[in-house]
A and B are shown apart, each in its own frame.
Chain A
């Protein structure tokens, strides 16, 4: 059972990573910097629990705050670039954060042992969970409380004016501007929220792997962050969740029996998915179909 709880933990944290890119994607910005905010959350939360002895909840909160502050700062210059250039600019920024941590040393002696991030060697012994006796099940539930809260928040955004505004900006900036939407406010706010979610996910990541290093937040992670919402579909938060379950649950763990073929199938299936369902696996049509399946028969007058 522990294995399934562990897998659920991974799915939860990756969903947070995906959702942080999702909200930014809604506004039409492809951000490859989410892995950077993820890293900030990881190091910040890790340092607070290990070096300052904080409890994990405020540590995660601090990670969120720092993550969102950095994202906000990135959001403004990001306004100046569009399309491909934004992709590259955010990729460069994410890499910049990773390189910062590659060079970051902050060690404190605790009980005769040096603890803390040590540049290229990473940051080990982030053992808040096992040291405080949390079982795999408890950690999983803890992670999922946050995931569910974030999903509810984003779902609520979608049903409110804010969500409509986000999508409007994503669909057609000029049209959105002409109805009086403040593009700057919308795009920067989406970035900030994305940064907060990524910071939260990163903090959780640091604690369930117990060891982080700069290479844990590389371009591959940044690519996965945008892959989940794009492959899953931008019509709803469920798309991202579905894509994470598909990738982590089915492709990575479920296909183990295929041995070596598993890795080859990975790329091939993504290509196939994008060809068959360019708007994502759970696109708007699929959502409508699901709704009809479960709520069929009800018609509003």
Chain B
């Protein structure tokens, strides 16, 4: 009985080995890892990123796949890992990914994961005294300003808020010459929203000739905005800019409605130009203007959105960055002429990193994206506003 069981097990093992060996002989795969948050309030981001990655891989594979250094073609295989927006788990995930034969990772979602994660990467390439992880990370979502410069292995394809808000305020001034003053609303305990008001919105609006009257502050999960909105009412500014995420943005907007605060122009935070805000307070968000790096305004963008929808994800500026990343990586991998063999995986990763670093421009869904020496992107953008429960393009500077 034992001998029979052993024989069956051995045959099974041999069979699977042969089968997988056979599969390897027929089809080469290049593994790309995706990672992000599929838990908590940011769960939708992870779901959408994953869908976009799988959709893009599907399109690339159907088109023949990616060309390796020896001229043969390989298919992309995407695996997505959930880091639950937790720093330790994000680090654990990237180490896990580095232990597989994945050649590059796309992620993370949360800026508070990106910062520690980039911190454990090797700071300068080739620095033998730095024992940091040597693995290229190409971020799709985490948007807090100035993170890619933490490591030469970190690259990002996220919108440049400085450029976008600069352009937005300039455009607002030309479109509404009677609009002179601006007042802000800031989510103080979230690094991204806080930085965006003080470093970006405030400075850029002043540069366009607006007079900043001050700002009201609240916390990410606050529920009572009476005091803050009263301050807004008193300031009576022409423009109110809210640098906060959907939940507190909705809370503030509802309080503004209650207290009868109606600015001439309402401006929002980049990452709030998604379904979440409309889900929470479509009526109160009517008319809010947000600069974004995605809208389905051309054939390519529409196609990307539709394909992602097939994989059960929504297309917004975050998930479409993941889509773009896949195509950029195809280009980068072909330029880097990697071997694709598991034994050369570390060399391949280095080649991909170097190839990413060389990029001066990449193709995005809205147009050409510029890249800088720090590994950051300057993406083409447009302005959307909320109209009747949908994001509609307000102005396309492209």
A contacts B directly (C-beta below 8 A):
yes
A114 to B122, CA, bound (A): 20
Binary CB contact string for chain A from 256 to 294 against chain B (1 if under 8 A, 0 otherwise): 100110110000000000000000000000000000000
List 10 other contacts, CB 8 Å, given A125-B119, A131-B123, A262-B82.
A1-B99, A3-B95, A6-B91, A120-B188, A122-B112, A122-B191, A126-B119, A130-B131, A211-B115, A214-B189
Q: Quick one: which of B87, B96, B122, B123 has the most chain A CB within 10 A?
A: B87
Q: Which residues on A sit within 8 Å (CB–CB) of B191?
A: 120-122, 213
User: B residues within 8 A CB of A136?
Assistant: 95, 131
- Number of A residues contacting the other chain (C-beta, 8 Å)? 37
CB atoms of B188 and A133 under 8 A apart? no
Asked if B389 is at the interface (CB within 8 A of a chain A CB), the reply is no
Contacts of B352 in A (CB 8 A): none
The binding surface of chain B is classed by DSSP as helix
- Give chain A interface residues in 122-153, CB to chain B under 8 Å: 122, 124-127, 129-136
Residue contacts A-B, CB under 8 angstroms, 5 given: A2-B95, A6-B92, A209-B116, A210-B119, A263-B82
User: For residue A2, which residues in chain B have a CB less than 8 angstroms away from its CB?
Assistant: 95, 98-99, 133
Q: Does B237 contact A (CB under 8 A)?
A: no
Closest to A14 in B: B88
A1 to chain B, nearest CB (A): 7
Point out residues on B near A: beta carbons under 8 Å.
Answer: 38-39, 81-82, 84, 87-89, 91-92, 95-96, 98-99, 112, 115-116, 119-120, 122-123, 129-133, 150, 188-191, 194-195
A89: chain B residues at CB < 8 Å are none
Roughly how many angstroms separate A132 CA and B127 CA in the complex, as a whole number?
11
Residues in A whose Cβ lies below 8 Å from that of B95: 2-3, 6-7, 136
Bound-complex Cα distance A215 to B189 (A): 9
Q: Which of B82, B132, B189 contacts A130, CB < 8 Å?
A: B132
A120 CB contact (under 8 Å) in B81, B116, B194? B194
Within 8 Å CB of B82, what residues of A?
Answer: 256, 259-260, 262-263
Residues on the A chain within 8 Å of B189, using CB:
102, 120, 214-215
A127 to B130, CA, bound (A): 10
Q: Mark A194-216, 1 if CB is under 8 A from B, else 0.
A: 00000000000000111101111
Contacts of B132 in A (CB 8 A): 127, 130
CB neighbours of A124 from chain B (8 A) = 115, 119, 150
| Cα distance, A127 to B151, chains bound together (Å) | 12
Contact A213 to B123, CB < 8 A, known contacts A3-B96, A121-B194, A130-B132: no
- The chain B residue sitting closest to A205, CB to CB, is B88
Alpha-carbon gap, A210 to B130, bound state (A): 14
Contact between chains at B88 and A213 (CB < 8 Å): no
7 closest cross-chain pairs (CB), A and B: A210-B119, A130-B132, A211-B116, A6-B95, A3-B95, A209-B116, A211-B115
